[in-house]
Structure 1
Amino acid sequence: MEKVADWQIFHFRDTYSRSQAHHPLNWTNGALYVGMIKWAEMADNDKYYNWLKNIGTENEWQLHKRIYHADDQTVGQMYIDLYRKYKDEEIIAPTKKQLDFILMHPSQSVLNWETPYDHDRWSWCDALFMAPPVWAKLYNITGNNKYLHFLMTEYKASTEFLFDKKEHLYYRDESYMNKLDNGTKIFWSRGNGWVFAGLANIMNELKPNTDEYKYFLEIYKKMAKKLLDIQKSEGLWAMSLLSQEEYPTPETSGSSFFIYGLAWGINNGILDKDLYIESVRKGWTAITNHVTDDGMLGYVQPIGGAPGNAWPDKTEVYGTGALLSAGSEVYKLFGGK
């Protein structure tokens, strides 16, 4: 984890999937920070906290440009976690202001894909990693039910729309609901990884005896069982989850999110350790086998919204974030303090 974190910080301004480096507040980096702050809590010094805090300071603790877009709220997760450490209201003030604005002026858009302002609500499954944990965290630190009510209303709407009740997986968005890939439904690995990791990050903020927690727990358990059933023999998951033979290429970002969520479930007494621990062991081993000697995580599928391809010499910042999230729970699972 340290090697991967250090490599990523050194290469933070690389271009990766795009022709220019990602903006520090872009969702790609927001997902990196979600994992990096988990690593910062484990590290022996404040180097990683300081790196994250400098990013916030340089950007005046703002969220990214689009007010309603879930992607542009992702960085708020890191801000709130830093607030918990430093207790400085300045850190969360812009996030709170923007979410309060949304509450006062809620989007009236529908969830149908490619309709006007469809990205103003959580109409694609990636969004369920990006924004909901921000709302859950803000609810937790303020105790204000308005954030929880918004979270539940919007999450339930998205799940009712995108969740396949038979397969217990999420469509990436409406455009995939009536498509087949070599005869199978299309469930994108990283898309479902976004959801599964997001569920753990949301439940971390809620009390287990509440109805809200139980709602997320039900979805989580259904997905966990499905993921166990469709994991490939070497430990990763296919980029199209139900089309293993058609997608033999390794992919590490979706699989890292799955391993994070599964290890988290064991650590929190939700999943049967005897049933799931070998899945986590195989998955973590397969993922780390694709880390280069200098710390780059390979086989990270580039930015996209569907199954595709990945390469051993290509990575992305969100892949690093996913690995660091996974490692934080795998470390606990296998005895780390």
Structure 2
Amino acid sequence: MKALLSLLISILSSHLLLGQKIHKQEVKNVMNQVADWQIEHYQDIYSERDQPHHPLDWTNGALYVGMVKWAAVADDDKYYEWLEEIGEKHQWQLHRRKYHADDHTVGQLYVELYRKYLDMEMIEPTKEQFNFIILHPAQTSLNWKTPYHQDRWNWCDALFMSPPVWAKLYNITGEKKYLDFMMTEFKATTDFLFDKKENLYYRDESYIGKLDNGTKIFWSRGNGWVFAGLVNIMNELDENSKEYRYFLNIYKKMASKLHKIQTPEGHWAMSLLGQNFYPTPENSGTAFYVYGLAWGINQGILDKATYALTVQKGWNTLVGHVTTEGMLGYVQPIGAAPGKAWADKTEVYGTGAFLSAGSEIYKMLGGK
């Protein structure tokens, strides 16, 4: 009887939390708390690795994408200074692999810091590397596990990692070569991995045609990478351009699908079509969806009456999994498919996704 009572209280508390109105200052407070906790625990061991992530690794690159959005909201420049110190220490270089999208992720931070400080040194190495890629494009296949296959964007995560950097370089330089390269490669990946019936992306070719408990396998965080990547690209483009319209079309299709498959608890299942088989919350994917959907409301693209409750439920469930110290729990470790997550485990990219989501929620509530 005691266990049943505890369960009922937990369920009631969860439903009350989902219905809570969001307040602007509370959003800022929890973002502050999460950002500070993550900086303090920046060099912790995550995903059961034997050493901390390299500062230029994609995991941290995704953290910086959210952290720099928080820096723009925060009351002082200490977050910008922390991020700038990382860039300076590594001489504004991308990570070690020339073509691999994961190793381009940190370039998103460099461009944003350039926008604040107007120091060309911050983006010159990225420009030089991308210029080389344009002149020497990878000739590899998009088929999974073919030779050098990840020299192109043949897994959906890549659409968050590299394309926004190309779009940002196009925006700040005005050089169309960056946009043209990005469009060609993004379209190739989408033609290869986008399921037109479900309006979701397969993680890579190896998941096409496979079933999990009778459902197609669409990894939540993988599609979260794509959805957030679409937003980060569209932020750089002219709304009247054909390129913007291309991304907007995909975005709207995904948004509609995500609206329909949100769980009653407010998160999205690790296998997006398999709620019954993956009941555990997963907050990196959920945070990316909240980010993308809130952005759509803020841009006037998504109908607020239709999507606001979806966003509110998603944000409230995220906040409900932030510990009193500021750690965001239930973030799936590094992987490529639906799996497991735990209340007491996090990852740096989950924090980045959370801060990205918070930045758009804050704007939605009138924050500057």
TM-score, normalised with respect to structure 2 = 0.91
Counterpart residue number, 1:241:
272
Counterpart residue number, 1:300:
331
CA RMSD of aligned residues (A): 0.4
Task: Please give the residue correspondences for 1:263-282 in structure 2 after superposition, counting only pairs within 5 Å.
Answer: 263-282=294-313
Task: Tell me which amino acid in the other structure corresponds to 2:46.
Answer: Y
Counterpart residue number, 2:38:
8
Counterpart residue number, 2:262:
231
2:57 corresponds, among 11, 23, 26, to: 26
Q: What is the CA-CA distance between 1:35 and the residue it aligns to?
A: 0.1
Q: What is the CA-CA distance between 1:57 and the residue it aligns to?
A: 0.3
Segments of 5+ residues of structure 1 without an aligned counterpart are: none
Task: Please give the residue correspondences for 1:33-52 in structure 2 after superposition, counting only pairs within 5 Å.
Answer: 33-52=64-83
Task: Tell me which amino acid in the other structure corresponds to 2:41.
Answer: H
Does 2:136 align with 1:90? no
SS at match of 1:237: coil
- Cα distance in 2 between the residues matched to 1:59 and 1:9: 18
Counterpart residue number, 1:178:
209
Task: Please give the residue correspondences for 1:310-329 in structure 2 after superposition, counting only pairs within 5 Å.
Answer: 310-329=341-360
- Cα distance in 1 between the residues matched to 2:242 and 2:198: 24
Does 2:193 align with 1:140? no
- Cα distance in 1 between the residues matched to 2:156 and 2:35: 27
SS at match of 1:265: helix
Deviation per CA, 1:107-138: give whole Å up to 9, x if none. Answer: 00010000001100000000000000000000
Task: Please give the residue correspondences for 1:74-113 in structure 2 after superposition, counting only pairs within 5 Å.
Answer: 74-113=105-144
SS at match of 1:310: coil
Task: Tell me which amino acid in the other structure corresponds to 1:143.
Answer: G
Deviation per CA, 1:258-314: give whole Å up to 9, x if none. Answer: 000000000001000110000000000000100000000000000000000000000
- Cα distance in 2 between the residues matched to 1:93 and 1:210: 27
Segments of 5+ residues of structure 2 without an aligned counterpart are: 1-30
- Cα distance in 2 between the residues matched to 1:157 and 1:320: 30
SS at match of 1:102: helix
TM-score, normalised with respect to structure 1 = 1.00
1:56 corresponds, among 70, 87, 108, to: 87
- Cα distance in 2 between the residues matched to 1:324 and 1:121: 28
Task: Please give the residue correspondences for 1:161-176 in structure 2 after superposition, counting only pairs within 5 Å.
Answer: 161-176=192-207
Q: What is the CA-CA distance between 1:178 and the residue it aligns to?
A: 1.5
Does 2:158 align with 1:158? no
- Higher-Rg member (1/2): 2
Does 2:340 align with 1:309? yes
Q: What is the CA-CA distance between 1:60 and the residue it aligns to?
A: 0.4
Counterpart residue number, 2:180:
149
Deviation per CA, 1:243-270: give whole Å up to 9, x if none. Answer: 0000000110000000000000000010
Q: What is the CA-CA distance between 1:336 and the residue it aligns to?
A: 2.0
**Runs of 4+ displaced beyond 6 Å:** none
- Cα distance in 1 between the residues matched to 2:220 and 2:200: 10
Task: Tell me which amino acid in the other structure corresponds to 1:237.
Answer: W
Deviation per CA, 1:179-202: give whole Å up to 9, x if none. Answer: 100000000000000000000000
Q: What is the CA-CA distance between 1:335 and the residue it aligns to?
A: 2.3
Q: What is the CA-CA distance between 1:11 and the residue it aligns to?
A: 0.3
Counterpart residue number, 1:204:
235
Counterpart residue number, 2:290:
259
Counterpart residue number, 1:285:
316
2:147 corresponds, among 106, 116, 120, to: 116
Task: Tell me which amino acid in the other structure corresponds to 1:6.
Answer: D
Q: What is the CA-CA distance between 1:334 and the residue it aligns to?
A: 1.8
